[in-house]
Amino acid sequence: MLGKIPDGREPVVELLKRSLRDPSRKVRRFAVDSLMDLDVEPRRRREEFVPLVLPLLRDPSQLVRRRAAYRLGNSPGGVSIDAVARALLEEPDPPTRKWIEKLLRRVLRARQEGGMDR
């Protein structure tokens, strides 16, 4: 995907952040992937990107919800256990529920290991 952010490309980051709220589920899904693929410090991902992606666990599109769960699972340190548990309780789609369950396990494991990110 996008990788490391070259100097002067912060407008791309802002565009991706706005795209998380786009009416198109395809755009939102692409934005989740692209934002979480950016080569940034783990702290920035945890503090800036994770809080923006986390609400997508309750997106109208099951594909966006699945992608958000998968991507957040790759950076579980900054993910709110409460938000994941709420999303899991409300998830009507069984395959998506499995992805959210995996995310919850990764978040809990990260807390037990004391790590913020991998």
Q: What percent of the chain has pLDDT over 90?
A: 79
Which pLDDT band holds residue 115 (cuts at 50, 70, 90)? low
32 residue type, one letter: V
105 residue type, one letter: R
Q: DSSP of 32-44, one letter per residue? A: HHHHHHSB--HHH
Which pLDDT band holds residue 61 (cuts at 50, 70, 90)? very high
pTM for the whole thing? 0.87
Q: Say what the pLDDT of residue 114 is.
A: 79
Q: Write out the CATH class of domain 10-113.
A: mainly alpha
Which pLDDT band holds residue 89 (cuts at 50, 70, 90)? very high
